[in-house]
Amino acid sequence: MLKVGPRLLHSIRFRVLMSKYWIIKSSILEAIMCGIIGYSGPRKTSTVLLEGLRRLEYRGYDSAGIAVGGKSCTDGKLQVVKEVGKISALRAAMPADIDGSWGIGHTRWATHGGVTHANAHPHIDNSGKIAVVHNGIIENHTALKTMLQKKGCVFRTETDSEVIPHLIAQYYKGDLAEAVKAAIQNLEGTYGIACIHLDEPGRIVGARNGSPLIVGVGVGEMFLASDITAMVAYTDKVVYLNDGELVDIDEHSYSIIGKDEQKVERTTNQITWELGSIEKGDYPCHMEKEIFEQPESIARALSGRIDAENATAKLGGLNLDRSRLLNVGRVKIIAAGTSWHAGLVGSYLLEQVARIPAQAELASEIRYRNPVVERDSLWFAVSQSGETADSLFAMREVQRKGATVLGICNVVGSTIARESDGGIYVHSGPEIAVASTKAFTSQLAAFYLFTLLSARMRNMSREEGIHFAGALQSVPGMVAETLKARDHVQRIAKKYCRAKDFLFLGRGILYPIALEGALKLKEISYIHAEGCSAGEMKHGPIALISPEVPSVFLVSDDYLREKTISNIREIKARGGPVIVVGVEGDTETAALADEFIPVPKTDPRFYPFSMVVPLQLFAYFCALELGRDVDQPRNLAKSVTVE
C-alpha cells in the first residue's frame, strides 16, 4: 500500500519544480481537452454513454472509449471499449453483448502525437477493476509514474492521465470515494475526472480542479459530465461542481464534498435548453444551422434589455451600482479567438460612442504580462463556452489584482460565468460547431447594449439614444436580410475556394470583422488567410498580392469609405482579385470589385453584425466545396480548456 506522507509529496513537488521544463514539454505532448460522461441508472449504459459522447464530440475527436460495470464483466474486470477516431468508430466497435449497468466515457483531443488506441481513455489500474476518464493535465505525472512503477504498477499508455487509476488503486480499501479523495491530494495540474470500481456497482466518483464537471440529476438515474449537452436528452436538472470538490454518485443520489472535507449542500439548476437546439434539424451541418439562427439568437440577446422609454439599456446582471458605472475610467476586455474579435469591436464602440478608453487583449498574453489593474478600470472576460483556460486564468489573475470582471458568456453556469463579478449572458443557445458564429454576433449585441447604457449615462443625448436603440433593434431583421445572399456567396466561394491564400481587409470597426473572416476561413477550410487593417496593407501585406491571391474587403459608407476604396485600387493595380462586402446601392465600389456582396444600409456603427455574415457563409461554402469536416475541423476543439 502506498504511503504518500507530506515528505514524499514535498519531494514530488520539488522534482516537479526542478524539472519544470520537462513537465511543461510533456504536458504539451499530452495536453487533452476532452469530453467526459458518467451514467448510473436503469437504461442501457453503453447507449447512454455513446449518445452523450456523440454530443460531446465537439470537445475532441481523436479517440473515444467507455468502461462499464455489469453483467458482461465476466472476467472479473470492467469492460473497456476504445477506438481511435470519431464516436462512429467507437459505436461500430461496440460488442453486441455489452451489458453494463453503470459506466464512464470519454472523447479525447490531443495536441501532438499520441492518438493511439492505448492512449484513448478510459484508463485502468492493473487489476482492471478501476477505470478513470480525465480532462486536464497532470503536471507531476512523471514523478508520480516513477514512484508508482517502483510500487509495481505497470503502465500501458503514454498519457499523464494513467497515473490516476494507479494512484486510486494504491489507496483503495473498499471505498472508492475515500480512495479518490486520497489520490487527488497527490495530483498537480488540472483535472475533471470520473472513476468507477467493479466492486461498487452503480457508484461513480468525480472530482474537479480547473476542468468543468456537472452532475445531471434524473429520476432514478444520475449523470456526470463535462458539459450539459451530454445529458440534456435525459434531464434538465444539473448541479455545478466547483474546483476542489468531489462528488459521489449512485443512481438515486449524489453528494458533494468540499475542499474542507465537509458535505456541501447545493441546489439544482434548471436547464432551459431544448434537445432540438443541439440537433442539426434539416441542416447538413451545425455551422450552417447556427449561421441561419442568428436573427433569432441576436433577438434573444437583446430581448428585454432595451428600455425604449429612456432610450437606454437594462442589464440586470452587472452587479454594479450607478456610481460605479459612472466612474468607469477604462474598459479592458480579455478573450481568445472569435470572442477576442467581438471584444475588439466592443473596444472600438465603447471609445467611439461612450467615450470610454477601451482595449481588447488576448487572454493568453495578458496573464503573463503582469497586467496593471487601474482602480477605475472595468474588465470583461468574453467567452462563448465560459471554460476557455486562457480567458479563465487571465480573469483570475486580474481579479487577484483587484479587478472587477464582468463575464460575457453563452454557457449558463460555466466557470467564467460563476467566477466573474457579474455579467451578461448572450443567450445564443448551444453552439455546437467548432467555428463560432451565432455566439459572436450575440457577444456583439452584449457590447452594443453595454455601450448604449454607458453612453446614455455620459455624453449621449436622448435623441441619439433613441436612434442607437432603434438601430440595435433592427439588427435581427438586417441579418435576416443579409442571409438572403446565401446562394450568391456560395457561387463566389465555389469560384475562389482553390486559392491558397486570402487577405481580409477592413478599417475602423470593420477591422476586427476582417480578422474574424480570416479566422473563419482558415479554421474550417484550411486555406491560409490573413486579416489586416486596410490602412496597414501597404506596410507589408501588399507584397503578397498577385492574381492568385484574392482580397476580401469590407467597405462601409462612413468616413473611411474613400480611404478603403483607395486601398482596393492599390490591389487592383497589382492584379489582385477583389471581393467586396459593401453597402447596397454602392455602385462605385461594386463596379471596382470582381465580386460584390451587398448588405442592407444602416448606421455604419452597426455593419459588424451584417458584414460578418457573408464572411461566415464564404468560409462555410469554401470548406464544403473542399470536402472539409465543417463542424469538426482538424486539430481543433470547441472548448480549449488547457493553456
Confirm if 557 and 601 have CB atoms less than 8 A apart: yes
Pick between residue 101 and residue 639 the one whose CB is nearest to ligand M6R.
639
In the numeric block, which cell numbers belong to residue 630?
Answer: 465543417
What is the Cα–Cα distance from 98 to 72, expressed in whole angstroms? 6
User: 451: closest CA among 609, 362, 601, 345?
Assistant: 345
What are the residues facing 66 on neighbouring strands? Answer: 81, 105
In the numeric block, which cell numbers belong to residue 588?
Answer: 462605385
Confirm if 433 and 290 have CB atoms less than 8 A apart: yes
Question: Which residue is nearest to ligand M6R, using beta carbons?
Answer: 337
Least Å from the CB of residue 438 to ligand M6R:
11
CB atoms within 10 A of CB 297: 25
Least Å from the CB of residue 391 to ligand M6R:
5
435 binds ligand M6R (CB under 6 A): yes
Number of residues that bind ligand M6R (CB under 6 A): 16
263: which DSSP letter? Answer: E
From 31-39, 234-242, 332-340, 500-508, span contacting ligand M6R (CB under 6 A): 332-340
Encoded one letter per residue, x for contact with ligand M6R by CB under 6 A and - for no contact, window 4-43 reads: ----------------------------------------
338 binds ligand M6R (CB under 6 A): yes
Pick between residue 517 and residue 598 the one whose CB is nearest to ligand M6R.
517
Confirm if 404 and 379 have CB atoms less than 8 A apart: yes
Pairing label, strands 422-425, 405-409: parallel
Which of 235, 383, 454, 551 is in the footprint of ligand M6R by CB under 6 A?
383
Residues classed as catalytic:
34, 638
Least Å from the CB of residue 336 to ligand M6R:
4
Query: What beta strand segments (E) does 61-163 contain?
Result: 63-70, 79-84, 100-108, 123-124, 130-138
388 binds ligand M6R (CB under 6 A): yes
366 binds ligand M6R (CB under 6 A): no
555 binds ligand M6R (CB under 6 A): no
Least Å from the CB of residue 439 to ligand M6R:
7
From 99-107, 185-193, 270-278, 384-392, span contacting ligand M6R (CB under 6 A): 384-392
Chain centroid to CA 400: 23
Sheet holding 254-257, edge to edge: 123-124, 130-138, 189-197, 204-209, 246-249, 254-257, 263-264
169 binds ligand M6R (CB under 6 A): no
Least Å from the CB of residue 365 to ligand M6R:
14
From 68-76, 77-85, 299-307, 377-385, span contacting ligand M6R (CB under 6 A): 377-385
Pick between residue 119 and residue 384 the one whose CB is nearest to ligand M6R.
384
Phi, psi for 596 (deg, rounded to 5): -135, 125
In the numeric block, which cell numbers belong to residue 306?
Answer: 432595451
Helix (H) or strand (E) holding 28: helix 20-30
Which of 65, 295, 337, 598 is in the footprint of ligand M6R by CB under 6 A?
337
From 110-118, 287-295, 432-440, 488-496, span contacting ligand M6R (CB under 6 A): 432-440
Encoded one letter per residue, x for contact with ligand M6R by CB under 6 A and - for no contact, window 465-504 reads: ----------------------------------------
Angle between helices 475-482 and 607-625 (to 10 degrees): 30
DSSP per position, 207-249 = EEEBS--EEEE-SS-EEEESSGGGTTTT-SEEEEPPTT-EEEE
Positions in the binding site for ligand M6R (CB under 6 A): 336-339, 383-385, 388, 391, 434-436, 519, 523, 639-640
